[in-house]
Structures are given as C-alpha cells and as structure tokens.
Amino acid sequence: MEDGMNKNDLINEIATSAGVTKKEAETALESMLENITKALNNGESITLVGFGSFSVTKRAAREGVNPQTKERINIPAKNVVKFKAGKMLSSTLN
C-alpha cells in the first residue's frame, strides 16, 4: 500500500499545479483550512460543488464498553465533522 500525501506534499503539489511559490501555496491552504474550520465552528456547512461538502452533526451520548476491562462507560455527546463526497470526486475514484 502506498503512503498517503501529507500537508507538505500537498503544498508542493499546489505550488506546482498553480504556478505559485510554496509559500503562496502554503498561505492559500492555511487560509482555506482556517475558513472551513471557522464556518464549521459557526454551525455552517461548506459545499464545494463536485468535490464534496463538510458539515457538523451532533453525536448523541451513548453507553460503551472499555475493551480492556469490559467495564461499561458513558460516552458523552459531541459534535463531529461529516464529509460527503461529491459526484465528480466519487466518479474519479471508481
């Protein structure tokens, strides 16, 4: 199995494909990630047509089991990020 792409690899790819410096690519990527995070924290969803959409969903509190001790534990409710791939992205993977 091939190793995944890390943030530095992505910055290099953006710089090459967009014809910008690595610093400019890094600034653009950081800005994009900050703005996605900010929107999600504000309860907004983000839709990138063809690529996919990010949204926040609430996961209810539930009871679980500690796998080491088999003891029942309470897992608190929390917000989780959900990503749904767009049609264009999905079609390129199959």
Residues 35-65: tens digit of each pLDDT: 999 999 999 999 999 999 999 999 999 999 9
pLDDT digits (tens, 9 = 90+) for 66-91: 999 999 999 999 999 999 999 999 99
| pLDDT at position 1 over 50 | no
* Nearest residue to 51 (alpha-carbon basis) of 9, 3, 93: 93
User: Which domains are seen in the chain, by residue range?
Assistant: 1-43 (no CATH), 45-94 (4.10.520.10)
Considering only CA atoms, which of 83, 35, 85, 81 is closest in space to residue 58? Answer: 81
Look up the pTM and report it.
0.77
